Amino acid sequence: MRRDRPIRSGGVSCCACAHAAARAACCDCDWPSCSAPIDGHWTRSLEDFIDSCYPADVPRQQSKLWQRVFDEPEARTLFGPLHAEEWPSAPQIASLETIVQRVLSLSAVSEKPADEQAAIADEVRSLLASHPTSKGLELFELPHVVEVYWLDRLDG
């Protein structure tokens, strides 16, 4: 789908695009993370569980802490303000084992010992099997949003 954006020709020196699906995982291109898990929905419970797998000092895309670098004095001399848009997209459909494997592939999980990974996999299976909004499902719908960020380079 083509989208017209207010980006001047030759004006962008930095642009990032992040997919987002139910915040079921971290940001990357083949299985994205969600920008807005739904309160009361299994996607919120799964995201909260995933958050608990990360050490407190490890930043995640969802925190948007990476945006602070563009508030630094040097960045303000190089770029205009950070712009952001969210583009809703078709949901992703995944099986239970696809979701489990994706959670296990997260860096904060994959670096854990095998016994901890097994416990995490069991917890994800248990969460999805017991949550009122996912109980009994064979396929899980992950709401999908594409987050786009851009900056205009300052000529000077």
**Residue 145: closest CA among 9, 10, 18, 5:** 18
- 37 by Cβ neighbours in 10 Å (0-12 / 13-18 / 19+) ranks as buried
- The number of domains in the chain is 1
- Secondary structure element (H or E) that encloses residue 17, with its range: strand 12-21
Q: Is position 132 within any domain?
A: yes
Q: Is residue 18 part of a domain?
A: yes
- Domain of residue 109 covers 12-152
User: What's residue 124's pLDDT?
Assistant: 97
Please indicate, yes or no, if residue 4 is contained in any of the structural domains: no
Instruction: Please report whether residue 103 resides in a domain.
Output: yes
Residue 3 in domain: no
2 within some domain: no
Amino acid identity of residue 140, one-letter, is F
128 lies in some domain = yes
Low-confidence ranges of the chain (pLDDT < 70): 1-37, 156
Residue 6 lies in a domain: no
**Helices and strands, counts by H and E, the chain:** 5, 3
